[in-house]
A and B are shown apart, each in its own frame.
Chain A
Amino acid sequence: MTPILTMRNVRKSFGPLTVLPDLSLTVARGERVVICGPSGSGKSTAIACVNGLVPHDSGRITVDGIELDHRSGTAPDVRRMVGMVFQSFNLFPHLTALENCTVGPVTVQKRPRREAEAEAMALLERVRIPEQAHKYPAQLSGGQQQRVAIARALAMRPRLLLFDEPTSALDPEMVKEVLDAMIALADTGLTMIVVTHEMGFAREVAHRVLFMDRGEVLQDSPPAEFFAAPAGPRVRDFLTHLRRPNLHHA
Protein backbone atom coordinates (compact mmCIF):
# COMPACT_ATOMS: atom_id res chain seq x y z
CA MET A 1 0.00 0.00 0.00
CA THR A 2 1.49 3.29 -1.00
CA PRO A 3 1.57 5.81 1.79
CA ILE A 4 -0.91 8.61 1.39
CA LEU A 5 1.68 11.25 2.13
CA THR A 6 5.40 11.28 1.58
CA MET A 7 7.54 14.26 2.43
CA ARG A 8 11.23 13.94 1.62
CA ASN A 9 13.85 16.52 2.58
CA VAL A 10 11.39 19.36 2.50
CA ARG A 11 12.91 22.75 3.13
CA LYS A 12 11.08 26.04 3.64
CA SER A 13 12.49 29.45 4.45
CA PHE A 14 10.81 32.80 4.86
CA GLY A 15 13.53 35.22 3.92
CA PRO A 16 16.48 34.72 6.23
CA LEU A 17 14.49 32.49 8.59
CA THR A 18 14.56 28.77 7.80
CA VAL A 19 11.45 27.30 9.35
CA LEU A 20 11.86 23.77 7.99
CA PRO A 21 15.50 22.82 7.34
CA ASP A 22 15.02 19.21 6.29
CA LEU A 23 11.70 17.54 6.97
CA SER A 24 10.90 13.97 6.02
CA LEU A 25 7.66 12.31 6.95
CA THR A 26 5.54 9.42 5.76
CA VAL A 27 1.90 8.87 6.62
CA ALA A 28 0.12 5.65 5.73
CA ARG A 29 -3.46 5.37 4.58
CA GLY A 30 -5.86 5.44 7.50
CA GLU A 31 -3.24 6.67 9.95
CA ARG A 32 -4.04 9.36 12.46
CA VAL A 33 -1.06 11.54 13.26
CA VAL A 34 -0.86 14.26 15.88
CA ILE A 35 1.86 16.87 15.61
CA CYS A 36 2.68 18.91 18.68
CA GLY A 37 5.41 21.25 19.80
CA PRO A 38 6.10 24.78 20.99
CA SER A 39 4.95 27.75 18.91
CA GLY A 40 7.28 28.62 16.10
CA SER A 41 8.34 25.02 15.70
CA GLY A 42 7.15 24.89 12.10
CA LYS A 43 4.21 22.54 12.58
CA SER A 44 1.68 24.81 10.89
CA THR A 45 4.12 25.52 8.06
CA ALA A 46 4.65 21.81 7.61
CA ILE A 47 1.01 20.96 7.09
CA ALA A 48 0.45 24.09 4.99
CA CYS A 49 3.11 22.69 2.68
CA VAL A 50 1.18 19.45 2.35
CA ASN A 51 -1.71 21.03 0.47
CA GLY A 52 0.49 23.61 -1.15
CA LEU A 53 -0.89 26.68 0.60
CA VAL A 54 2.74 27.37 1.43
CA PRO A 55 5.02 26.49 -1.48
CA HIS A 56 8.02 24.48 -0.31
CA ASP A 57 11.46 25.57 -1.46
CA SER A 58 12.98 22.17 -2.11
CA GLY A 59 12.37 18.50 -1.45
CA ARG A 60 9.52 16.32 -2.62
CA ILE A 61 5.96 16.10 -1.41
CA THR A 62 3.76 13.35 -2.82
CA VAL A 63 0.10 13.03 -1.91
CA ASP A 64 -1.61 9.81 -2.93
CA GLY A 65 0.65 9.41 -5.94
CA ILE A 66 0.44 13.02 -7.13
CA GLU A 67 3.63 14.98 -6.73
CA LEU A 68 3.06 18.49 -5.47
CA ASP A 69 4.91 20.54 -8.06
CA HIS A 70 4.09 24.21 -8.04
CA ARG A 71 5.87 24.85 -11.31
CA SER A 72 3.68 22.32 -13.07
CA GLY A 73 0.63 23.57 -11.26
CA THR A 74 -0.45 20.33 -9.56
CA ALA A 75 -1.42 22.12 -6.36
CA PRO A 76 -5.15 22.34 -7.25
CA ASP A 77 -5.15 18.61 -8.02
CA VAL A 78 -3.70 17.88 -4.60
CA ARG A 79 -6.12 20.25 -2.91
CA ARG A 80 -9.08 18.44 -4.37
CA MET A 81 -8.03 15.38 -2.39
CA VAL A 82 -6.85 17.08 0.76
CA GLY A 83 -9.12 18.91 3.16
CA MET A 84 -8.07 21.51 5.70
CA VAL A 85 -9.57 22.84 8.90
CA PHE A 86 -8.12 26.18 10.01
CA GLN A 87 -7.49 27.64 13.42
CA SER A 88 -9.61 30.66 12.59
CA PHE A 89 -12.32 28.62 10.84
CA ASN A 90 -12.28 30.82 7.69
CA LEU A 91 -15.92 30.15 6.92
CA PHE A 92 -17.35 32.22 4.07
CA PRO A 93 -19.41 34.87 5.88
CA HIS A 94 -21.78 35.61 3.01
CA LEU A 95 -22.90 31.97 2.69
CA THR A 96 -25.03 29.87 5.02
CA ALA A 97 -23.58 26.85 6.76
CA LEU A 98 -25.11 24.61 4.13
CA GLU A 99 -23.85 26.77 1.28
CA ASN A 100 -20.37 26.77 2.81
CA CYS A 101 -20.44 23.00 2.54
CA THR A 102 -21.81 22.85 -0.99
CA VAL A 103 -19.81 25.57 -2.73
CA GLY A 104 -16.71 23.37 -2.99
CA PRO A 105 -18.36 20.19 -4.33
CA VAL A 106 -20.56 22.11 -6.76
CA THR A 107 -18.05 24.55 -8.25
CA VAL A 108 -14.82 22.57 -8.00
CA GLN A 109 -15.94 18.97 -8.27
CA LYS A 110 -18.87 19.78 -10.53
CA ARG A 111 -21.26 17.61 -8.58
CA PRO A 112 -25.00 18.20 -8.98
CA ARG A 113 -26.34 20.68 -6.47
CA ARG A 114 -29.05 18.41 -5.05
CA GLU A 115 -26.60 15.61 -4.37
CA ALA A 116 -24.15 18.00 -2.78
CA GLU A 117 -26.85 19.48 -0.57
CA ALA A 118 -28.04 16.06 0.59
CA GLU A 119 -24.52 15.04 1.45
CA ALA A 120 -23.85 18.33 3.17
CA MET A 121 -26.93 17.90 5.35
CA ALA A 122 -25.78 14.44 6.28
CA LEU A 123 -22.38 15.81 7.26
CA LEU A 124 -23.92 18.59 9.32
CA GLU A 125 -25.88 15.91 11.12
CA ARG A 126 -22.69 14.00 11.70
CA VAL A 127 -21.17 17.02 13.45
CA ARG A 128 -24.46 17.44 15.30
CA ILE A 129 -25.65 20.80 13.96
CA PRO A 130 -28.18 20.05 11.22
CA GLU A 131 -30.55 22.72 12.56
CA GLN A 132 -27.96 25.44 11.83
CA ALA A 133 -27.83 24.64 8.13
CA HIS A 134 -29.48 27.88 7.04
CA LYS A 135 -27.74 30.18 9.48
CA TYR A 136 -24.87 32.46 8.61
CA PRO A 137 -21.48 32.07 10.33
CA ALA A 138 -21.94 35.31 12.27
CA GLN A 139 -24.97 33.75 13.95
CA LEU A 140 -23.07 30.69 15.12
CA SER A 141 -20.81 30.17 18.10
CA GLY A 142 -17.13 29.43 17.63
CA GLY A 143 -17.59 25.76 18.28
CA GLN A 144 -20.47 25.55 15.81
CA GLN A 145 -18.46 27.41 13.19
CA GLN A 146 -15.53 25.07 13.50
CA ARG A 147 -17.84 22.08 13.17
CA VAL A 148 -19.27 23.59 10.00
CA ALA A 149 -15.69 24.02 8.82
CA ILE A 150 -15.09 20.32 9.43
CA ALA A 151 -18.24 19.44 7.51
CA ARG A 152 -17.12 21.75 4.70
CA ALA A 153 -13.80 19.97 4.44
CA LEU A 154 -15.46 16.56 4.55
CA ALA A 155 -17.93 17.51 1.83
CA MET A 156 -15.07 17.39 -0.67
CA ARG A 157 -14.61 13.65 0.12
CA PRO A 158 -10.96 14.14 0.94
CA ARG A 159 -8.50 11.29 1.23
CA LEU A 160 -6.50 13.21 3.78
CA LEU A 161 -7.72 15.74 6.28
CA LEU A 162 -5.41 18.35 7.82
CA PHE A 163 -6.19 20.19 11.04
CA ASP A 164 -4.23 23.31 11.97
CA GLU A 165 -4.77 23.87 15.70
CA PRO A 166 -8.53 23.51 15.32
CA THR A 167 -9.38 24.30 18.94
CA SER A 168 -6.80 26.97 19.77
CA ALA A 169 -9.12 29.86 18.94
CA LEU A 170 -12.08 28.50 20.84
CA ASP A 171 -13.39 29.34 24.25
CA PRO A 172 -12.70 26.41 26.62
CA GLU A 173 -16.31 25.31 26.89
CA MET A 174 -16.51 24.76 23.13
CA VAL A 175 -13.32 22.76 22.74
CA LYS A 176 -14.99 19.53 23.74
CA GLU A 177 -17.72 19.62 21.10
CA VAL A 178 -15.16 20.07 18.33
CA LEU A 179 -12.87 17.36 19.68
CA ASP A 180 -15.83 15.02 19.93
CA ALA A 181 -16.62 15.68 16.29
CA MET A 182 -13.02 14.92 15.38
CA ILE A 183 -12.99 11.75 17.43
CA ALA A 184 -16.16 10.63 15.70
CA LEU A 185 -14.29 10.95 12.41
CA ALA A 186 -11.71 8.48 13.62
CA ASP A 187 -14.19 5.65 13.23
CA THR A 188 -14.52 6.30 9.53
CA GLY A 189 -10.94 5.36 8.78
CA LEU A 190 -10.12 8.81 7.45
CA THR A 191 -6.43 9.72 7.34
CA MET A 192 -5.91 12.70 9.63
CA ILE A 193 -2.95 14.89 10.45
CA VAL A 194 -3.75 17.10 13.40
CA VAL A 195 -1.60 19.91 14.76
CA THR A 196 -2.83 20.44 18.30
CA HIS A 197 -2.02 20.79 21.98
CA GLU A 198 -4.93 18.62 22.98
CA MET A 199 -3.12 15.59 24.34
CA GLY A 200 -6.35 13.93 25.43
CA PHE A 201 -7.30 13.69 21.79
CA ALA A 202 -3.88 12.29 20.95
CA ARG A 203 -4.14 9.67 23.61
CA GLU A 204 -7.57 8.56 22.46
CA VAL A 205 -7.33 8.29 18.70
CA ALA A 206 -3.83 8.97 17.44
CA HIS A 207 -1.70 6.24 15.93
CA ARG A 208 1.41 8.37 16.14
CA VAL A 209 2.43 11.48 17.98
CA LEU A 210 5.14 13.68 16.49
CA PHE A 211 7.00 16.32 18.42
CA MET A 212 8.47 19.17 16.40
CA ASP A 213 10.80 21.86 17.59
CA ARG A 214 12.67 24.38 15.45
CA GLY A 215 11.64 22.63 12.28
CA GLU A 216 12.85 19.19 13.31
CA VAL A 217 10.93 16.08 14.30
CA LEU A 218 12.40 15.12 17.64
CA GLN A 219 10.10 12.24 18.41
CA ASP A 220 7.74 10.08 16.43
CA SER A 221 6.10 7.31 18.38
CA PRO A 222 2.73 5.85 19.39
CA PRO A 223 0.99 7.88 22.09
CA ALA A 224 1.58 5.49 24.92
CA GLU A 225 5.29 5.46 24.29
CA PHE A 226 5.32 9.21 23.71
CA PHE A 227 3.85 10.06 27.08
CA ALA A 228 5.72 7.33 28.97
CA ALA A 229 9.15 7.89 27.53
CA PRO A 230 9.72 11.37 26.14
CA ALA A 231 12.86 11.41 24.03
CA GLY A 232 14.98 14.22 25.28
CA PRO A 233 14.81 17.32 27.49
CA ARG A 234 12.84 19.55 25.06
CA VAL A 235 10.04 17.02 24.73
CA ARG A 236 9.99 16.55 28.47
CA ASP A 237 9.78 20.29 29.11
CA PHE A 238 6.92 20.59 26.64
CA LEU A 239 4.94 17.81 28.30
CA THR A 240 5.54 19.26 31.74
CA HIS A 241 4.23 22.62 30.58
CA LEU A 242 1.15 20.94 29.17
CA ARG A 243 0.35 19.22 32.42
CA ARG A 244 0.14 22.55 34.21
CA PRO A 245 -3.50 23.51 33.76
CA ASN A 246 -3.17 27.29 33.35
CA LEU A 247 -0.38 27.40 30.82
CA HIS A 248 -2.37 25.65 28.18
CA HIS A 249 -3.02 28.25 25.54
CA ALA A 250 -0.50 30.54 23.92
Chain B
Amino acid sequence: MKGWARGLFDNVPNALVSLALLWLLAHVGIGLWDWAITRGNFDAPNAEACARTGGACWAFLGDRWRLILFGPYPYAQQWRPATALILFVALIAATATPATWRARARIRTLIAAWVIGVPLMAVLMWGGIAGLSFVPARLWGGLPLTVMLATVGVGLAFMLAVLLALGRVSEMPVIRALCTLYIEFFRGVPLIALLFLVAVLFPYLVPPGWTMDTLLRAGVAFALFFAAYMAEAIRGGLQAVPRGQYLAADSLGMGYWQARTRIILPQALRTVIPSLVNIFIAAFKDTSLVVVISMLDLLGAANASTAEARWWGLYIEPYLFIAAIYLAFCAAMSAYSRGLERRLGVGVR
Protein backbone atom coordinates (compact mmCIF):
# COMPACT_ATOMS: atom_id res chain seq x y z
CA MET B 1 0.00 0.00 0.00
CA LYS B 2 1.48 3.32 -0.97
CA GLY B 3 2.45 5.67 1.83
CA TRP B 4 -0.32 8.19 1.44
CA ALA B 5 -3.04 5.61 0.99
CA ARG B 6 -2.25 3.76 4.20
CA GLY B 7 -4.67 4.73 6.90
CA LEU B 8 -7.18 5.80 4.31
CA PHE B 9 -7.85 3.00 1.90
CA ASP B 10 -6.14 -0.05 3.32
CA ASN B 11 -9.35 -1.97 3.76
CA VAL B 12 -12.94 -1.71 2.63
CA PRO B 13 -14.54 -0.17 5.74
CA ASN B 14 -11.72 2.34 5.94
CA ALA B 15 -12.10 3.22 2.29
CA LEU B 16 -15.81 3.78 2.67
CA VAL B 17 -15.31 6.03 5.67
CA SER B 18 -12.59 7.92 3.83
CA LEU B 19 -14.78 8.45 0.82
CA ALA B 20 -17.64 9.71 2.95
CA LEU B 21 -15.38 12.08 4.86
CA LEU B 22 -13.72 13.28 1.67
CA TRP B 23 -17.12 14.06 0.20
CA LEU B 24 -18.00 16.00 3.35
CA LEU B 25 -14.73 17.89 3.39
CA ALA B 26 -14.99 18.72 -0.28
CA HIS B 27 -18.50 20.05 0.18
CA VAL B 28 -17.46 22.24 3.10
CA GLY B 29 -14.22 23.23 1.44
CA ILE B 30 -15.86 24.33 -1.78
CA GLY B 31 -18.50 26.28 0.10
CA LEU B 32 -15.81 27.97 2.15
CA TRP B 33 -13.72 28.81 -0.89
CA ASP B 34 -16.72 30.21 -2.62
CA TRP B 35 -17.64 32.38 0.33
CA ALA B 36 -14.13 33.51 1.16
CA ILE B 37 -12.46 33.90 -2.21
CA THR B 38 -14.82 33.68 -5.17
CA ARG B 39 -17.45 35.94 -3.71
CA GLY B 40 -15.19 37.62 -1.19
CA ASN B 41 -15.12 41.40 -1.15
CA PHE B 42 -11.68 42.86 -0.74
CA ASP B 43 -12.53 46.50 -1.19
CA ALA B 44 -16.17 47.13 -0.49
CA PRO B 45 -17.11 50.41 1.23
CA ASN B 46 -19.58 48.95 3.71
CA ALA B 47 -21.38 45.82 4.85
CA GLU B 48 -24.28 46.37 2.49
CA ALA B 49 -21.99 46.28 -0.51
CA CYS B 50 -20.56 43.00 0.75
CA ALA B 51 -24.04 41.59 1.27
CA ARG B 52 -24.71 42.01 -2.41
CA THR B 53 -22.29 39.24 -3.32
CA GLY B 54 -23.07 37.30 -0.19
CA GLY B 55 -19.40 36.60 0.29
CA ALA B 56 -16.85 37.41 2.93
CA CYS B 57 -16.34 41.06 3.74
CA TRP B 58 -12.56 41.22 3.99
CA ALA B 59 -12.64 44.95 3.32
CA PHE B 60 -13.99 45.33 6.83
CA LEU B 61 -10.80 43.86 8.28
CA GLY B 62 -8.69 46.10 6.11
CA ASP B 63 -10.55 49.05 7.55
CA ARG B 64 -10.90 48.05 11.17
CA TRP B 65 -7.98 45.79 12.02
CA ARG B 66 -6.26 48.39 14.13
CA LEU B 67 -9.35 48.97 16.20
CA ILE B 68 -9.61 45.24 16.85
CA LEU B 69 -5.94 44.86 17.69
CA PHE B 70 -5.53 47.89 19.92
CA GLY B 71 -9.01 48.71 21.13
CA PRO B 72 -9.90 52.31 21.88
CA TYR B 73 -6.28 53.35 22.40
CA PRO B 74 -5.70 56.69 20.65
CA TYR B 75 -4.85 56.06 17.02
CA ALA B 76 -1.66 58.10 16.84
CA GLN B 77 -0.25 56.58 20.04
CA GLN B 78 -0.77 52.97 19.08
CA TRP B 79 2.96 52.45 18.65
CA ARG B 80 3.12 52.43 22.43
CA PRO B 81 0.93 49.39 23.09
CA ALA B 82 2.55 47.72 20.08
CA THR B 83 6.00 48.21 21.61
CA ALA B 84 4.81 47.15 25.03
CA LEU B 85 3.32 44.03 23.48
CA ILE B 86 6.55 43.10 21.72
CA LEU B 87 8.53 43.66 24.92
CA PHE B 88 6.11 41.50 26.88
CA VAL B 89 6.26 38.69 24.39
CA ALA B 90 10.05 38.87 24.36
CA LEU B 91 10.19 38.69 28.16
CA ILE B 92 7.84 35.73 28.19
CA ALA B 93 9.87 33.96 25.52
CA ALA B 94 13.04 34.54 27.52
CA THR B 95 11.41 33.20 30.67
CA ALA B 96 10.26 30.15 28.79
CA THR B 97 13.63 29.11 27.43
CA PRO B 98 14.98 26.25 29.53
CA ALA B 99 18.49 27.57 29.07
CA THR B 100 17.73 30.45 31.40
CA TRP B 101 16.77 28.21 34.31
CA ARG B 102 20.14 26.58 34.57
CA ALA B 103 22.31 29.20 36.16
CA ARG B 104 21.37 31.16 39.23
CA ALA B 105 22.98 34.19 37.65
CA ARG B 106 20.72 33.94 34.62
CA ILE B 107 17.66 33.56 36.83
CA ARG B 108 18.66 36.71 38.66
CA THR B 109 19.07 38.57 35.35
CA LEU B 110 15.67 37.36 34.28
CA ILE B 111 14.01 38.55 37.48
CA ALA B 112 15.78 41.89 37.08
CA ALA B 113 14.51 42.12 33.51
CA TRP B 114 10.94 41.64 34.74
CA VAL B 115 11.34 44.07 37.63
CA ILE B 116 12.57 46.74 35.23
CA GLY B 117 10.41 45.69 32.30
CA VAL B 118 6.95 45.75 33.89
CA PRO B 119 7.16 49.34 35.21
CA LEU B 120 8.70 50.36 31.88
CA MET B 121 5.75 48.94 30.01
CA ALA B 122 3.37 50.53 32.48
CA VAL B 123 4.98 53.89 31.73
CA LEU B 124 4.70 53.23 27.99
CA MET B 125 1.01 52.44 28.32
CA TRP B 126 -0.03 55.10 30.82
CA GLY B 127 2.33 57.84 29.73
CA GLY B 128 2.01 61.17 31.47
CA ILE B 129 5.79 61.50 31.82
CA ALA B 130 8.80 61.64 29.50
CA GLY B 131 6.82 63.49 26.91
CA LEU B 132 4.25 60.75 26.48
CA SER B 133 0.62 61.80 26.62
CA PHE B 134 -1.49 60.30 29.37
CA VAL B 135 -3.79 57.47 28.32
CA PRO B 136 -6.13 56.22 31.06
CA ALA B 137 -6.46 52.47 31.53
CA ARG B 138 -10.05 52.41 30.41
CA LEU B 139 -8.85 53.18 26.88
CA TRP B 140 -6.50 50.24 26.78
CA GLY B 141 -7.71 47.31 24.78
CA GLY B 142 -7.19 44.64 22.19
CA LEU B 143 -4.28 42.26 22.04
CA PRO B 144 -1.90 44.19 24.33
CA LEU B 145 -4.56 44.20 27.02
CA THR B 146 -5.15 40.47 26.64
CA VAL B 147 -1.45 39.65 26.83
CA MET B 148 -0.75 41.98 29.75
CA LEU B 149 -3.72 40.90 31.80
CA ALA B 150 -2.94 37.22 31.30
CA THR B 151 0.77 37.63 32.00
CA VAL B 152 0.56 39.87 35.06
CA GLY B 153 -2.38 37.91 36.44
CA VAL B 154 -0.64 34.58 36.05
CA GLY B 155 2.70 35.97 37.20
CA LEU B 156 1.22 37.16 40.48
CA ALA B 157 -0.81 33.98 40.71
CA PHE B 158 2.34 31.89 40.45
CA MET B 159 4.02 33.49 43.43
CA LEU B 160 0.91 33.07 45.52
CA ALA B 161 0.45 29.53 44.25
CA VAL B 162 3.87 28.37 45.45
CA LEU B 163 3.07 29.55 48.96
CA LEU B 164 -0.39 28.01 48.81
CA ALA B 165 0.97 24.67 47.62
CA LEU B 166 3.58 24.55 50.36
CA GLY B 167 0.89 25.48 52.86
CA ARG B 168 -1.45 22.84 51.50
CA VAL B 169 1.07 20.11 52.33
CA SER B 170 2.34 21.71 55.51
CA GLU B 171 2.37 19.81 58.76
CA MET B 172 0.83 22.73 60.58
CA PRO B 173 -2.92 22.10 60.67
CA VAL B 174 -4.01 25.74 60.71
CA ILE B 175 -1.90 26.64 57.69
CA ARG B 176 -3.04 23.54 55.87
CA ALA B 177 -6.69 24.31 56.58
CA LEU B 178 -6.43 27.94 55.49
CA CYS B 179 -4.71 27.04 52.23
CA THR B 180 -7.17 24.24 51.53
CA LEU B 181 -10.10 26.60 52.12
CA TYR B 182 -8.63 29.16 49.76
CA ILE B 183 -7.97 26.60 47.03
CA GLU B 184 -11.38 24.94 47.28
CA PHE B 185 -13.16 28.30 47.31
CA PHE B 186 -11.51 29.71 44.21
CA ARG B 187 -11.75 26.45 42.33
CA GLY B 188 -15.41 26.17 43.13
CA VAL B 189 -16.66 29.45 41.70
CA PRO B 190 -16.76 30.60 38.08
CA LEU B 191 -14.37 33.33 37.00
CA ILE B 192 -17.29 35.46 35.84
CA ALA B 193 -18.70 35.56 39.35
CA LEU B 194 -15.32 36.78 40.64
CA LEU B 195 -15.11 39.44 37.97
CA PHE B 196 -18.56 40.63 39.02
CA LEU B 197 -17.40 40.61 42.58
CA VAL B 198 -14.44 42.88 41.96
CA ALA B 199 -16.36 45.14 39.66
CA VAL B 200 -19.50 45.57 41.74
CA LEU B 201 -18.39 44.97 45.30
CA PHE B 202 -15.07 46.80 45.22
CA PRO B 203 -16.50 50.10 46.46
CA TYR B 204 -18.01 48.28 49.44
CA LEU B 205 -14.89 46.32 50.33
CA VAL B 206 -12.54 49.26 50.70
CA PRO B 207 -12.65 52.45 52.72
CA PRO B 208 -14.34 55.36 50.96
CA GLY B 209 -12.08 57.24 48.64
CA TRP B 210 -10.00 54.24 47.61
CA THR B 211 -10.13 53.62 43.92
CA MET B 212 -8.57 51.08 41.66
CA ASP B 213 -8.64 50.88 37.90
CA THR B 214 -11.00 48.25 36.59
CA LEU B 215 -8.02 46.76 34.82
CA LEU B 216 -6.13 46.29 38.08
CA ARG B 217 -9.21 44.88 39.75
CA ALA B 218 -9.52 42.37 36.93
CA GLY B 219 -5.85 41.54 37.36
CA VAL B 220 -6.38 40.88 41.05
CA ALA B 221 -9.36 38.65 40.30
CA PHE B 222 -7.31 36.72 37.75
CA ALA B 223 -4.40 36.35 40.14
CA LEU B 224 -6.55 35.10 43.01
CA PHE B 225 -8.46 32.71 40.74
CA PHE B 226 -5.57 31.12 38.89
CA ALA B 227 -3.42 30.89 42.00
CA ALA B 228 -5.77 28.17 43.23
CA TYR B 229 -5.41 26.09 40.07
CA MET B 230 -1.66 26.55 39.91
CA ALA B 231 -1.38 25.62 43.57
CA GLU B 232 -3.01 22.28 42.91
CA ALA B 233 -0.69 21.63 39.99
CA ILE B 234 2.37 22.56 42.07
CA ARG B 235 1.12 20.37 44.88
CA GLY B 236 1.13 17.44 42.48
CA GLY B 237 4.72 18.27 41.66
CA LEU B 238 5.66 18.44 45.33
CA GLN B 239 4.17 15.04 45.93
CA ALA B 240 6.12 13.62 43.00
CA VAL B 241 9.48 14.56 44.49
CA PRO B 242 10.94 11.35 45.99
CA ARG B 243 11.07 11.20 49.75
CA GLY B 244 14.80 10.53 49.57
CA GLN B 245 15.34 14.12 48.43
CA TYR B 246 13.80 15.44 51.64
CA LEU B 247 15.98 13.02 53.62
CA ALA B 248 19.12 14.05 51.80
CA ALA B 249 18.41 17.74 52.30
CA ASP B 250 17.66 17.15 55.98
CA SER B 251 20.80 15.08 56.45
CA LEU B 252 22.86 18.03 55.23
CA GLY B 253 21.30 20.09 57.99
CA MET B 254 19.19 22.26 55.70
CA GLY B 255 16.31 24.13 57.24
CA TYR B 256 12.74 24.11 55.91
CA TRP B 257 13.06 27.06 53.52
CA GLN B 258 16.58 26.19 52.40
CA ALA B 259 15.50 22.68 51.48
CA ARG B 260 12.34 23.90 49.74
CA THR B 261 13.92 26.67 47.67
CA ARG B 262 17.13 24.91 46.66
CA ILE B 263 16.20 21.26 46.44
CA ILE B 264 12.49 20.49 46.48
CA LEU B 265 10.86 23.31 44.51
CA PRO B 266 13.32 23.25 41.59
CA GLN B 267 12.48 19.60 41.09
CA ALA B 268 8.74 19.96 41.73
CA LEU B 269 8.32 22.93 39.41
CA ARG B 270 10.27 21.27 36.63
CA THR B 271 7.82 18.41 36.49
CA VAL B 272 4.69 20.57 36.46
CA ILE B 273 5.76 23.23 33.98
CA PRO B 274 3.58 21.74 31.25
CA SER B 275 0.54 21.96 33.55
CA LEU B 276 1.42 25.53 34.46
CA VAL B 277 1.72 26.45 30.79
CA ASN B 278 -1.72 24.94 30.19
CA ILE B 279 -3.09 27.09 32.98
CA PHE B 280 -1.50 30.13 31.35
CA ILE B 281 -3.17 29.21 28.07
CA ALA B 282 -6.50 28.98 29.88
CA ALA B 283 -5.88 32.38 31.47
CA PHE B 284 -5.02 33.82 28.08
CA LYS B 285 -8.35 32.66 26.72
CA ASP B 286 -10.27 33.67 29.82
CA THR B 287 -9.22 37.29 29.44
CA SER B 288 -12.13 37.39 27.02
CA LEU B 289 -14.44 37.37 30.04
CA VAL B 290 -13.55 40.93 30.96
CA VAL B 291 -16.18 41.98 28.47
CA VAL B 292 -18.67 41.55 31.33
CA ILE B 293 -16.98 44.33 33.26
CA SER B 294 -16.90 46.63 30.27
CA MET B 295 -13.31 46.18 29.26
CA LEU B 296 -12.40 45.84 25.61
CA ASP B 297 -9.91 43.04 25.32
CA LEU B 298 -9.32 41.37 21.96
CA LEU B 299 -12.79 39.82 21.90
CA GLY B 300 -14.47 42.92 23.24
CA ALA B 301 -12.75 45.06 20.63
CA ALA B 302 -13.83 42.67 17.90
CA ASN B 303 -17.42 42.98 19.09
CA ALA B 304 -17.16 46.75 19.25
CA SER B 305 -15.66 46.97 15.77
CA THR B 306 -18.97 46.21 14.09
CA ALA B 307 -20.91 48.58 16.30
CA GLU B 308 -21.13 51.34 13.74
CA ALA B 309 -23.69 51.61 10.96
CA ARG B 310 -21.17 51.10 8.23
CA TRP B 311 -20.22 47.58 9.23
CA TRP B 312 -23.24 46.58 11.25
CA GLY B 313 -24.24 42.93 11.15
CA LEU B 314 -20.87 41.37 10.39
CA TYR B 315 -19.68 38.73 12.81
CA ILE B 316 -17.87 35.97 10.96
CA GLU B 317 -15.04 38.17 9.70
CA PRO B 318 -14.05 39.79 13.02
CA TYR B 319 -14.44 36.47 14.86
CA LEU B 320 -12.32 34.65 12.29
CA PHE B 321 -9.65 37.32 12.59
CA ILE B 322 -9.33 37.08 16.35
CA ALA B 323 -9.81 33.31 16.28
CA ALA B 324 -6.72 33.18 14.09
CA ILE B 325 -4.81 35.31 16.58
CA TYR B 326 -5.92 33.23 19.56
CA LEU B 327 -5.12 30.05 17.66
CA ALA B 328 -1.67 31.28 16.77
CA PHE B 329 -0.79 32.21 20.35
CA CYS B 330 -2.41 29.21 22.04
CA ALA B 331 -1.20 26.63 19.54
CA ALA B 332 2.33 27.98 19.88
CA MET B 333 2.12 27.74 23.66
CA SER B 334 0.66 24.23 23.47
CA ALA B 335 3.42 23.10 21.15
CA TYR B 336 5.95 24.60 23.55
CA SER B 337 4.34 22.78 26.45
CA ARG B 338 4.42 19.48 24.58
CA GLY B 339 8.02 20.02 23.61
CA LEU B 340 8.89 20.71 27.23
CA GLU B 341 7.13 17.58 28.36
CA ARG B 342 9.19 15.56 25.92
CA ARG B 343 12.41 17.23 26.99
CA LEU B 344 11.76 16.84 30.67
CA GLY B 345 10.83 13.20 30.22
CA VAL B 346 14.09 12.41 28.51
CA GLY B 347 17.28 12.64 30.50
CA VAL B 348 15.72 13.92 33.67
CA ARG B 349 18.13 16.33 35.26
Contact = CB atoms under 8 A, between A and B. Distances in A.
B252 to A, nearest CB: 4
Given A84-B251, A90-B247, A108 B270 contact: no
Interface centre among A88, A90, A136, by most chain B C-beta atoms within 10 angstroms, is A90
A86 B249 CA distance: 12
Contact of A53 (B250, B270, B347, B348): B250
A123 to B, nearest CB: 14
B263 interface: yes
Contacts of A93: 267, 348-349
Contacts of A86: 244, 247-248, 251
A79 B250 contact: yes
A156 interface: yes
Given A94-B267, A107-B258, A79 B349 contact: no
B252 A156 contact: yes
A156 B263 contact: no
A51 B266 CA distance: 25
Interface in B253-278: 253-255, 258, 262-263, 266-267, 270
Contacts, number: 60
A86 B347 CA distance: 22
Chief secondary structure at chain B's binding surface: helix
A79 B253 contact: yes
Given A92-B245, A138-B349, A76 B262 contact: no
A153 B248 CA distance: 10
Interface in A150-176: 152-153, 156
Interface residues of A, number: 27
B266 A94 contact: yes
Interface centre among B245, B247, B255, B347, by most chain A C-beta atoms within 10 angstroms, is B247
Interface string B96-111: 0000000000000000
Interface centre among A53, A91, A107, by most chain B C-beta atoms within 10 angstroms, is A107
B349 A94 contact: yes
Contacts of A88: 244
A83 interface: yes
B253 A94 contact: no
A236 B252 CA distance: 37
Contacts of B251: 51, 53, 79, 82-84, 86, 153
Contact of B248 (A80, A90, A109): A90
Contacts of B245: 90, 92
B262 A103 contact: yes
Interface string B310-323: 00000000000000
A21 interface: no
Nearest to A107: B258
Contact of B270 (A82, A90, A94, A136): A94
5 contacts: A92-B267, A93-B267, A94-B270, A107-B262, A108-B258
Interface of B: 242, 244-245, 247-248, 250-255, 258, 262-263, 266-267, 270, 347-349
Interface of A: 51, 53, 76-77, 79-80, 82-84, 86, 88, 90-94, 103-104, 107-109, 136, 138-139, 152-153, 156
Q: Which 5 pairs between the two chains have the least Cβ-Cβ distance?
A: A90-B248, A104-B252, A90-B244, A79-B253, A80-B253
